[in-house]
Structure 1
Amino acid sequence: MTQTEQIPAEAVIHNACILDGDRATFTEESADTWIVIAEGTVVARGRGDGWKDRAASAQGEVIDAAGGFVAPAFVDIHCHGAGGASAEDGADAIDAILDVHRAHGTGKLALSYVSNTIEGLCRSLRAGAGLVRDRAMLMGLHAEGPFLSPDFKGAHAPEVLTSPTPEAVEAILEAADGTLAQITIAPELPGALDAIARFSAAGVRVAVGHTAADYELTAQAFDAGASILTHAFNAMPGIHHRAPGPVLAAAEAEHVTVELINDGVHVVAPVAQMLHDLVPGRLALITDAMAATGLHDGNYHLGSLPVEVTDSVARLVTSDGTQGAIAGSTLTMDDAVKRAVAEVGLSPFDAVQAASLVPLRAVGGAADDSSLLAVGMPADLLLLDEGMNIRGSRLGG
């Protein structure tokens, strides 16, 4: 079975280690678990030789996982684009974005918009709301700005950054029409704490990011309802022994999910490992992928800003033609997971959870005790080899 081969709607998969469910019963050393799917739904799971009776009576394919892994489909809650297209490009671009990320194991993603004027963002959100209803893979929208710090703007156009007025907040909620899954806000801006409370009350997950906030103010934002830290360590103060900053505030707030762009560029492996140890069970792998994802090095745009991609690293092009700030990534979720295991030192179980259940839970798509491949759940799954490479997939039920 190749990466592009689809697992059929009727199948028995055995000789596998299922990276889903109760961590206490999970053993990576023993690939003796099996799973049965019928009509695109998980109908049975077990351990040992019980699969043989199922295979004898099943009409579908019997798949030997060869000691590899069965994993839930990946979930990306922070994704700007791929395949030469960006979220802002609208309906004509969305399938190019989804096709690239689906090919790399993502079953659901939140479509992320870079900062724009309030009017421009609302236009994008109105268009995006229709896409969410038309495309099952889209789980919602993410507004990364424009309520961001000009001192930590990263790859966001400075001229559109602004503070969150009550009028702007209501306009965004109205435009998204219930499809806004996440919004990133710098809590030090005037009116930000009130905006965090309002978005949270409306069911939108608020992320702290692109911020100059210190530890104390970040903690206030989490108390006000914020529950995500946008791409940890990037576009925010770091950890200092006398100024612990947003990352440690997030570590101490147990309801907060911490995003990580695990490409080895945004955060190097030893720091990523430290972050995982700080927030066990609360680390969410994201791509922050932009238009160049799935393509080649060259010149692209992120929002209105020119970007040059060299050796797969995207950076802004400054007025003098030199490379500036990192501008999103060209990362895919399968690569983020492989790096988490091979370079950061996470177990396959923890890496897959960080790429599926944890981000899904962060935007309200799963409960704390959810099993994404429990009996009765859609069979949105991946078959991985022992190196965490995708051998086959079934996405979309």
Structure 2
Amino acid sequence: MLHGRILTPTGWITGSIGYGQRIQQIQEDPAASHSGLTILPGFVDLHVHGAAGVDIMQGGDAGATVARTHARHGTTSLLGTTLTAKEPSIRRALAGLAGVIAERPAGGARMLGVHLEGPFLNLNRLGAQPPDVMVASLELVQSLHAVAPIRVLTLAPEVDGHLALVPQLKAMGIRVQIGHSAGSYEDGVAALEAGVAGFTHLFNGMTGMGHYQPGMVGAALAHAEYAEVIPDLMHVSPGALQSALRCIPRLYGVTDATSATGMPDGEYALGTQRVFKCMGCVRLATGSLAGSVLTMDQALRNFVGLGLDLADASNRLSLYPADYLGESERGRLAPGAWADMVVLNAELQPVAVYVEGEAIDLTSN
């Protein structure tokens, strides 16, 4: 049993949660307020490249290390995320993820599948991505999907052939997102009409909004139901975040975390790129931002610091990303749902995390 202030799908209650691997019951009990604890659904991070000095593109057991590291910050499920790379490197990364997806590592978050962020991007909007772009084909995506299940796929819809591919990918059950795109507002609207579901790290790696040329950002703000954003307050200014929160009903947070997450300042890898952690962010040698060192518990505190109430902030890190993936038994605290829970103190710091009922050791390295 856990006791405290509990966020349920119908609102807050003070009481207790009984659980095994799944939540068995939630009961009101005013005496539970004495615990001083808040119990939220575990965080669901749909864009994670690495942590603890390892990068998903390394393959092997990198995914397990990433899953364990992020679990200590309240992430209970996540997508291992690729970068642009040559096809053999992508296949190696997916092969490494396949085992972690099939069997959750002890002490780690549940790997729900793959976010294929590269290589179907626009060469002119790569940001920190390596320049190994490819044009997508149904056969190639099906072949990669057979190695490890692709749940989210980022592409630039203005690249020849990509727009026509969107309905086919949607039919495979893949959420297609616009990202690393030099496309126009009109390209974005056409992609949404074709079945695109969201936008990858909104504002970053896409054409910005102007009053004569609204760009891809304008298409998202005007028409999107879902979009991911990096709420580290470095990738996107607080003012831009407030604009997106007002415009996009189910804007949700992701970390875009790199191998430098949880590590001291220094040099790290982002795929084949050399990146440098300093002053709480990660940059290429050119100074451009290159992913983040954000964790989901810090994302929660940042959202609250922007003025969101705690329930709204929680929904944007748990319920909305789970719903986006169609994961109806995650991202919420309700009888029958997986017992994915994060317990917070008054400062919104995790004091306990449970993944499918397993208590995570928050002190391990």
User: TM-score normalized by structure 2?
Assistant: 0.91
What secondary structure does 1:341 align onto?
helix
TM superposition shift of 1:45: 2.4
SS in 1 for 2:9: coil
1:33 is aligned to 14
**Residue in structure 2 matching 1:263, options 222, 226, 232:** 232
CA distance in 1, matches of 2:25, 2:290: 44
The separation in 2 between residues aligned to 1:248 and 1:224, in whole angstroms, is 17
Task: Return the match for 2:49 from 80, 86, 92.
Answer: 80
What is the match of residue 250 of structure 1?
A: 220
1:80 touches 1:87 (CA, 8 Å); kept in 2?
yes
Deviation larger for 196-205 or 85-94: 85-94
- For the pair 1:183 / 2:164, whether they are aligned, the reply is no
Q: Does 1:326 align with 2:289?
A: yes
Aligned pairs for 1:203-242 within 5 A: 203-242=173-212
Deviations 1:125-184 (A, max 9, x none): 2332232102261010111111111111011111x11222344333323333xx111110
1:41-77 CA deviation, whole Å, 9 max, x = no partner? 333324454xx6xxxxxxxxx89431x4210000100
Write the mapping of 1:306-317 to structure 2, written as runs, cut at 5 A: 306-317=274-285
Match of 1:276 among 227, 231, 245: 245
Q: 1:240 deviation in Å? A: 1.2
SS at match of 1:213: coil
Q: Distance in 2 between matches of 1:390 and 1:161?
A: 39
| Secondary structure, counterpart of 1:248 in structure 2 | helix
The whole-number CA distance in structure 2 between the counterparts of 1:364 and 1:123 is 27
Instruction: Give the CA RMSD over aligned residues.
Output: 2.0
Conserved 8 A contact 1:75-1:355? yes
CA distance in 2, matches of 1:394, 1:119: 36
User: Residue 335 of structure 2 corresponds to which residue in structure 1?
Assistant: 375
> Is the aligned partner of 1:163 residue 2:125?
no
Conserved 8 A contact 1:33-1:45: no
Q: Deviations 1:266-285 (Å, cap 9, x if unpaired)?
A: 011121112111113x1111
* Counterpart secondary structure, 2:70: helix
Q: Distance in 2 between matches of 1:127 and 1:203?
A: 22
Q: Helix, strand or coil: the match of 2:3? A: strand
Q: Check the 8 A contact 1:109/1:137 in 2, yes or no.
A: yes
Would the aligned equivalents of 1:286 and 1:355 in 2 still touch at CA under 8 Å? yes
Change (3 A) 1:371 1:98: closer
The alignment status of 1:147 with 2:120, answered yes or no, reads yes
Is the alpha carbon distance of 1:150 and 1:331 closer, same or farther for their aligned partners in structure 2, counting shifts above 3 Å?
same
Task: Answer yes or no: is the 8 Å Cα contact 1:72–1:381 preserved in 2.
Answer: yes
1:366 aligns to what?
A: 328
Residue 85 (structure 1) shift: 0.4
Helix, strand or coil at the partner of 1:299: strand
Q: 2:254 aligns with which of 270, 277, 286?
A: 286
Give the distance between the partners of 1:170 and 1:163, measured in 2 at CA.
Answer: 14
Q: Are the structure 2 counterparts of residues 174 and 376 from structure 1 closer, same or farther at C-alpha, using a change threshold of 3 Å?
A: closer
Of the candidates 86, 90, 93, which is equivalent to residue 121 of structure 1?
90
The CA distance in 2 between the partners of 1:236 and 1:312, in whole Å, is: 24
CA change 1:303–1:38 in 2 (3 A) is closer
Number of residue pairs the alignment of both structures matches: 353
Q: Is the 8 A contact 1:297 1:310 kept in 2?
A: yes
Q: Distance in 1 between matches of 2:47 and 2:83?
A: 11
Q: Structure 1 CA distance, aligned partners of 2:278 and 2:316?
A: 28
Deviation of 1:115 (Å):
0.7
What displacement does 1:350 show? Answer: 0.8
Matched with 1:13 is 3
Distance in 2 between the 1:167 and 1:378 partners? 35
1:221 Cα deviation (Å)? 1.0
C-alpha distance in structure 1 between counterparts of 2:85 and 2:122, whole Å: 14
Distance 1:169 1:105 in 2: 31
Residue equivalent to 2:361 = none
Larger Rg: 1
SS of the residue corresponding to residue 120 of structure 2 reads: coil
Q: What does residue range 51-70 of structure 1 map to in structure 2 within 5 Å?
A: 64-66=34-36, 68-70=37-39
Aligned pair partner of 1:111 in 80, 83, 94: 80
Which residue of structure 1 lines up, in the alignment, with residue 363 of structure 2?
none
Structure-2 separation of matches of 1:371 and 1:91: 28
Give the corresponding residue for 2:68. 99
CA deviation map 1:292-331 (0-9, x unaligned):
00011100110101111111211112xxxxx332111000
Task: Evaluate the alpha carbon distance shift between residue 81 and residue 333 of structure 1 in structure 2; reply closer, same or farther with a 3 A threshold.
Answer: same
- CA distance in structure 1 between the partners assigned to 2:142 and 2:265 by the alignment: 40
Write the distance in 2 (CA, Å) between the matches of 1:12 and 1:35.
Answer: 5
Amino acid at match of 1:337: L
Match of 2:362?
Answer: none
SS at match of 1:325: coil
Q: Which position in structure 2 is the counterpart of 1:45? A: 26
Task: Give the CA deviation at 1:373.
Answer: 1.0
Which ranges of structure 1 fall in alignment gaps of 5 or more residues? Answer: 1-10, 27-31, 53-61, 318-322
Give the AA of the match of 2:3. I
